């Protein structure tokens, strides 16, 4: 096997790595630029493990962000559209090898910061070079995912690449095999910076994933509501960005849920409150006839959120704790909550007080926008304004929390 190995493969590997342009020209003039180099000659075990036994010269330059070598190989006729064994072309490899930087520094000071900034700069330069050379920015990876370069930019944290690709006619709303756009992916990981940039570039904030019916707002709400609050807190900035740019909080997914329903299922007060401020309909039922109150009570862990329960009891126009088939929420079927179950069933049979009816009506008319709230604040006494928008005590005396703070 060793007799079939061409020693110039190792020379070209070293020339690309050191950006020895004269040596690259010399070898490519003799052998061309679209042959596979045998990595056994170069002797780099980590390359063999991650990239296989052979690699194209242009792919090697892209993976290690060797801008000058990449430019010389392109000039020598290297084809950036050729795929590796994983279905990636040269552009895809620039994306998948994008240097991951958790934080950005206005002015790098430490050696580590300077090294990371240099890698970012070289990655941007490689991407710009490929785009200027006419690479197909909308080419999909030949794999089950069918990701485009924009999808990969989101997946691998290549924020600067988004604008570059869009400026070279990348389809901002391209969908992958799962029906997801780059915006769906960015919202699903609560990346506010990427979400903002994609929206600015024209991404559709209300387009849904074909397989699930989830909008970007659904995905952001699910992600924010599912975080371990005690450890990470609740990040609503991505949700706010979507809502500020016209995301519809009342879109229903294939499970019959709005993004507000998902927030109530997971019992996340911060996400619920933000939805209500932007016009989410707390009285909208799922396609199975379940109210927000039903969804909230169906999860035992939600019962610790007494204030959220109070808001539901005050803002729901027609109280009911059963779904369309007459089924009660799971938590109310537990023996330890039979007292609260009877309280709620009795409450559902009582007519709304005039005060509660007025509050619901005022909240629905003015509470769904900041402008509406501000307008009302100018004309209502402070005490009444506070009563409508901020006072959510559980005056119905329904609580699942005992004196020790447990449920």
Measure Cα distances from 289 to 60, 295, 320 in Å: 57, 10, 11
* Mean pLDDT lowest among 158-162, 310-314, 359-363: 359-363
Average pLDDT in the 167-179 region? Answer: 97
Q: pLDDT digits over 178-210, tens only?
A: 999 999 999 999 999 999 999 999 999 999 999
User: How far is the C-alpha of 132 from the C-alpha of 121, rounded, in Å?
Assistant: 16
| pLDDT beyond 80 at 291 | yes
Looking at the chain, the whole-number percentage of residues with pLDDT higher than 70 is 89
Per-position DSSP letters for 256-315, written without gaps between them: S--HHHHHHHTT-HHHHHHHHHTT--TTPPPTTS--HHHHHHTSGGGGG-HHHHHHHHHH
User: Is residue 184 classed exposed, middle or buried when 0-12, 13-18 and 19+ CB atoms within 10 A define those classes?
Assistant: buried
Kindly state the helix (H) or strand (E) to which residue 13 belongs, with its residue range: helix 8-18
User: How far is the C-alpha of 288 from the C-alpha of 348, rounded, in Å?
Assistant: 19
User: How far is the C-alpha of 144 from the C-alpha of 177, rounded, in Å?
Assistant: 7
* Mean pLDDT lowest among 13-27, 242-256, 364-378: 364-378
| pLDDT beyond 50 at 3 | no
Average pLDDT in the 398-406 region? Answer: 76
Q: What is the pLDDT of residue 368?
A: 66
Q: What is the pLDDT of residue 1?
A: 39
Tell which residue, 67, 59, 57, 68, has the closest CA to residue 28: 57
Tokens read off for 110: 């430490």
Other beta carbons within 10 angstroms of residue 167's beta carbon come to: 12
Q: What is the pLDDT of residue 104?
A: 62
Q: pLDDT digits over 33-62, tens only?
A: 999 988 776 656 566 556 667 899 999 999
| pLDDT beyond 80 at 403 | no
Kindly state the helix (H) or strand (E) to which residue 356 belongs, with its residue range: helix 354-366
| pLDDT beyond 50 at 230 | no
Q: What is the pLDDT of residue 115?
A: 82
The dihedral formed by the CA atoms of 268, 271, 275 and 277, expressed in degrees to the nearest 10 = 110
Q: What is the pLDDT of residue 231?
A: 47
Domain boundaries, the chain: 177-281, 298-407
Q: What is the pLDDT of residue 72?
A: 97
121 pLDDT band, cuts 50/70/90, is very high
User: How far is the C-alpha of 100 from the C-alpha of 103, rounded, in Å?
Assistant: 9
Q: Evaluate whether 125 touches 70 at the Cβ level (below 8 Å).
A: no
**pTM to 2 decimal places:** 0.88
User: How far is the C-alpha of 281 from the C-alpha of 272, rounded, in Å?
Assistant: 11
Average pLDDT in the 4-15 region? Answer: 80
Q: What is the DSSP letter of 236?
A: -
What CATH architecture does domain 177-281 belong to? Alpha Horseshoe (1.25)
Measure Cα distances from 76 to 30, 88, 218 in Å: 11, 21, 48
* Mean pLDDT lowest among 89-103, 248-262, 371-385: 371-385
Return the axis-axis angle of helices 216-226 and 269-277, rounded to nearest 10°: 150
User: How far is the C-alpha of 105 from the C-alpha of 80, rounded, in Å?
Assistant: 32
The three-state DSSP-derived secondary structure of 139-190 is CCCCCCCCCCHHHHHHHCCCHHHHHHHHHCCCCCCCCCCCCCCHHHHHHHCC
The Cα angle at residue 109 between residues 107 and 112, in degrees rounded to 5: 115
pLDDT greater at residue 292 or residue 394: 292
| pLDDT beyond 50 at 65 | yes
| pLDDT beyond 70 at 392 | no
Average pLDDT in the 232-248 region? Answer: 90
Average pLDDT, the chain: 88
Q: Evaluate whether 79 touches 34 at the Cβ level (below 8 Å).
A: yes
User: Is residue 202 classed exposed, middle or buried when 0-12, 13-18 and 19+ CB atoms within 10 A define those classes?
Assistant: exposed
The Cα angle at residue 54 between residues 50 and 58, in degrees rounded to 5: 90
């Amino acid at each position: 096997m060793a007799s079939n190995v061409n020693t110039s493969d190792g020379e070209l590997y070293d020339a690309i790595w050191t950006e020895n342009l004269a040596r690259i020209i010399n070898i490519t003039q003799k052998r061309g630029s679209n042959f596979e180099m045998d990595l056994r000659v170069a002797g780099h075990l980590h390359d063999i493990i991650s990239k296989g036994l052979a690699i194209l010269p242009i792919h090697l330059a892209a993976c290690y962000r060797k801008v000058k070598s990449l430019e010389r190989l392109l000039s020598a006729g290297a084809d950036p559209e050729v795929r590796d064994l994983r279905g990636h072309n040269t552009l895809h490899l620039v994306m998948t090898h994008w240097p991951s930087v958790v934080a950005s520094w206005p002015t790098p000071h430490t050696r580590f910061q300077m090294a990371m900034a240099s890698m970012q700069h070289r990655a941007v330069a490689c991407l710009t070079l490929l785009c200027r050379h006419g690479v197909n920015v909308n080419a999909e990876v030949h794999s089950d995912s069918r990701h485009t370069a924009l999808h990969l930019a989101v997946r691998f944290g290549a924020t600067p690449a988004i604008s570059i690709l869009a400026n070279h006619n990348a389809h901002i709303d391209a969908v992958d095999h799962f029906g997801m756009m780059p915006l769906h992916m960015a919202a699903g990981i609560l990346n506010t910076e990427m979400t903002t940039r994609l929206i600015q570039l024209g991404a559709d904030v209300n387009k849904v994933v074909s397989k699930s019916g989830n909008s970007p707002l659904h995905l952001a709400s699910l992600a924010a509501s599912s975080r371990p609050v005690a450890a990470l807190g609740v990040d609503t900035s991505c949700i706010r960005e979507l809502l500020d740019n016209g995301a519809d909080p009342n879109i229903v997914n294939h499970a019959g849920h709005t993004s507000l329903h998902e927030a109530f299922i997971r019992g996340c007060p911060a996400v619920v409150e933000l939805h209500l401020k932007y016009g989410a309909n707390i009285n909208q039922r799922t396609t199975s006839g379940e109210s927000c109150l039903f969804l909230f009570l169906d999860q035992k862990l939600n019962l610790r959120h007494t204030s959220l329960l109070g808001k539901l009891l005050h803002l729901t126009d027609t109280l009911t704790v059963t779904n369309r088939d007459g089924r009660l929420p799971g938590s109310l079927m537990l023996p330890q909550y039979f007292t609260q179950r009877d309280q709620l069933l009795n409450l559902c049979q009582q007519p709304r007080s005039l005060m509660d009816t007025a509050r619901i009506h005022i909240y629905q008319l003015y509470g769904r926008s900041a402008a509406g709230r501000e307008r009302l604040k100018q004309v209502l006494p402070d005490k009444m304004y506070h009563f409508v928008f901020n006072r959510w005590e559980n005056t119905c005396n329904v609580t699942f929390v005992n004196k020790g703070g447990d449920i």
